[in-house]
Amino acid sequence: MRTSARNCFPGKLVVIKKGPILAELEIAVGEQTSLVAHIAFTSLVDLGLSVGSAVQVLIKASQVVLLTEDHSVRLGTRNLFCGTVSALHPGAIHTEVILQIEKELPIVAVVTNESAKELELQVGERICAAFPPSSVLLTLNS
């Protein structure tokens, strides 16, 4: 499957909490990292997902919010990961930021150049990435 999502990585479903409308899924995406996704209960059934299912995790880079590691902002998301900036790709309006969470787990964010400047982003610095569980899309691994 080809996708425009900059964050696309394999995962394994480790926990499912079923609700009447949404299901909350915990997905292992690295050796020490898992994330949370909220999907419609009907999608859980339609995809035939169960604990142990292999999935592809998709997150648009524009849905990823960056904040400093010593952030004083309280976020209502369970997906908060801190790592090291491994690359910065500034453009005319936006900067693509690649944040290394684990050795084989980069998270890509796109922020305005103004935000990149305010955060004083530099390669090698620690930064955190956050995104809501509702921003996570899943496909089945074939």
Is the same domain home to 13 and 44?
Answer: yes
pLDDT higher than threshold 70 for residue 142: no
Domain identity same for 17 and 51: yes
Residues 39 and 83 in one domain: no
- How many folded domains does the chain comprise? 2
- The CATH number of whichever domain residue 119 belongs to comes to 2.40.50.100
Tokens of 75: 């976020």
pLDDT of residue 34: 96
The predicted pLDDT at position 71 comes to 63
Range of the domain at 48: 7-59+133-140
Read off the pLDDT of residues 46-82 as tens digits, 9 standing for 90 and up. Answer: 999 999 999 999 999 999 999 988 766 677 788 999 9
Question: Does one domain contain both 50 and 69?
Answer: no
Provide the Cα torsion 69, 74, 78, 83; round to 10°.
-10
Kindly state whether residues 65 and 125 are assigned to the same domain.
yes
Q: What secondary structure does DSSP assign to 52-108, as a single string?
A: T-EEEEEE-GGG-EEE-TT-----S-S-EEEEEEEEEEE-SSEEEEEEEEETTEEEE
Q: Is the dihedral of CA 126, 31, 138, 132 positive or negative?
A: negative
Predicted structure pTM score: 0.91
pLDDT digits (tens, 9 = 90+) for 6-51: 999 999 999 999 999 999 999 999 999 999 999 999 999 999 999 9
- 81-95 pLDDT, tens per residue? 999 999 999 999 999
- 124 and 81 within one domain: yes
**110-141 per-position pLDDT tens digit:** 999 999 999 999 999 999 999 999 999 999 97
